[in-house]
Amino acid sequence: MPNPATGISRRSFLLASALAAGAPAVALSGCSSNQSKSAAVTFGTFVGAANTKAYKTFLDQFTKDSGIKVDLTDVTGDYVTKMRTELIGGRAPDVFLADDSIMGQALKAGLVTNYSDWWKKNTAKIPLDKFYPDLSLFCKNDSGQFFGVPQDANPVSFWFNQNLLDQAKVAQNPAQLQEAGDWNQEAATEILTKLKTTGKVPMAIETNWWYWTSWITALGGQAFDDAGKCTWATDPASLAALKWIFDQFANGNLVYAGTLPKGQAVDALFYSGQLATCQYGRWIAPNLQQVKNFEYDVAPFPSKSGKDFAPVGILVGAICVNAKSKNADAASQLVADFCGLRGQKYRVELGAVVPTIEDKSLNGAVAVAKTPAHGHWYSDIAAKAYHPLYLSRNPDGNAALPGTIDKLLHDKSDYKTFAERTAAVINGEA
């Protein structure tokens, strides 16, 4: 009977209250994973504005061939933090890109699917046995089972602004010195010293691991032992290389990027002609092709001999299948196509990466690169490159290293203290 005071019956009020109370629950349940049983997978990765169209074309073809619809999310901004948060919250996509730190944590916590299980039944779909072993290490557990597939890689190289070299009256640029067998530590010091006269920044260094390990190994040091332990605090050649870096700081040939004005990223400085050299991978090539105000080229890092391709760091990303995926088979098929020959060839031809599969046609795609003039060297650089094991085996050290380096450089530490502290962080002893 309706209440005379309100005109609302008890039953209708209770029903309304239940609905009102239940509404948020219904709304929340909408937030939970509601993957359909149809062949559709979600794919989270970092695409970048320049590659959006190419990715779409590739995935459209995949859908056409396999009947599997792909919902691509281009994660912008701080990819690692965002994806890690999604993983922790159980909201990660079916298929996602994992860098070494995510891979290490996800593998340890059992959040990624054992890809070897699927591959054993579908060996024809992806040549997993042809992947470079060193570049796949971080995707494997101790038993050698794949939990992710390396999508492509990027060895670090020595980019330079030819116009600034001319302005500094440098007779032979690093690429010419490499061809002449004279691209060594002394030559690098000489070039940087001359570049200082232009009033521009000769070289900048950041907190990323690859700068430090690459300079150390290129100049003859042994950054890591066979077990993957960082040895640069005890290895004399590594200490000598670090001393050289710190000497360059002291004489103004090298600037720590953390002391540059904020908003002036290293790549942006290089594109704008304010920085003469930078140590990045092939990923900046597409952006450089848009640059019209100066000539540029690439060389390997200087080596001890002056003619060898020095061992340098290589960045690798892997594609994983979420352990919670309800479409694991479809997701695995996407990984096979994306990281297999077709996918890698597609991305290598975009001109920003090198392959992770040992394959002549893929290496050929790198070799024919016309931009920059010595872009074909990327295969040679990659062949000698390494991907430190600590990155995935000690994710905490991996995460803490940039902050440690930043603090040490701001505190004006000497190279020995720098070596000891950073090695301790890398080895999980800090």
Partner 1 sequence: MNSRTSMLTASKASADPTTVQTSPKPAAVRRARLRDFGWAMGFLAPQLTGLIVFVVGPMAFAFYLSFTNWDGFNTLSMAGLDNYRFVFTDPQLAASARNTLWLTALQVPGLLVSGLIVAYFLQKAGRMTSFYRLLFFAPQVTSSVAVAAIWLYLFNPQISPINSALRSVGITAPDWLQNPHTVILSLVVVGIWQGLGYQVVIFMAGLSNVPRTLLEAASIDGANEWQKFWRVTIPMLSPTILFLSITSIIASFQVFDIVYVMFDTNATSSARTIVYEIVQIAFQQNSFGQASALAVSLFVSLLLLTGLQLLAQRRWVYYAE
Contacts to partner 1 by CB under 8 A: 5, 13-14, 16-17, 20-21, 23-25, 28, 78, 81, 84-85, 87-88, 105-106, 108-109, 111, 207, 258-264, 395-396, 399-400, 402-403, 406-407, 410
**Shortest Cβ 255–partner 1 spacing (Å):** 12
**Shortest Cβ 81–partner 1 spacing (Å):** 5
| 348/54 Cα distance (integer angstroms) | 12
- Distance, C-alpha 377 to centroid of its chain: 19
Which CB sits closer to partner 1, 256 or 283? 256
**Shortest Cβ 262–partner 1 spacing (Å):** 4
Task: Identify residue 211 by its one-letter amino acid code.
Answer: Y
- Distance, C-alpha 267 to centroid of its chain: 15
**Shortest Cβ 108–partner 1 spacing (Å):** 6
| DSSP one-letter code for 259 | G
**Shortest Cβ 15–partner 1 spacing (Å):** 10
| 44/242 Cα distance (integer angstroms) | 38
Which CB sits closer to partner 1, 228 or 258? 258
Which CB sits closer to partner 1, 259 or 305? 259
| 90/87 Cα distance (integer angstroms) | 5
**Shortest Cβ 163–partner 1 spacing (Å):** 20
Which CB sits closer to partner 1, 3 or 361? 3
Which CB sits closer to partner 1, 23 or 368? 23
Where are the extended beta strands (E) located within 87-164?
95-98, 149-155, 158-161
**Shortest Cβ 167–partner 1 spacing (Å):** 19
Could you tell me if 320 and 107 are in contact, meaning their C-beta atoms sit under 8 angstroms apart? no
**Shortest Cβ 80–partner 1 spacing (Å):** 9
* Nearest C-alpha neighbor of 233 from the set 336, 243, 219, 104: 243
Beta partners for residue 43, in sequence order: 72, 95
Task: Identify residue 419 by its one-letter amino acid code.
Answer: A
- Residues 299, 300, 303, CA angle at the centre, nearest 5°? 130
The answer, yes or no, to whether the previous bond of 372 is cis (omega within 30 of 0) is: yes
Which CB sits closer to partner 1, 54 or 399? 399
Which CB sits closer to partner 1, 222 or 264? 264
**Shortest Cβ 65–partner 1 spacing (Å):** 35
181: alpha, beta or left, given left = phi > 0 and alpha = psi -120 to 50?
left
Which CB sits closer to partner 1, 262 or 370? 262
- Residue whose pair of structure tokens reads 């590594």 in the numeric block: 238
- Residue whose pair of structure tokens reads 């970092």 in the numeric block: 46
Sequence-separated (6 or more) residues with CB below 8 Å from residue 117: 145
Which CB sits closer to partner 1, 272 or 305? 272
Residue 306 has, within 13 A of its CA and on its CB side, a CA count of 11
- Distance, C-alpha 311 to centroid of its chain: 17
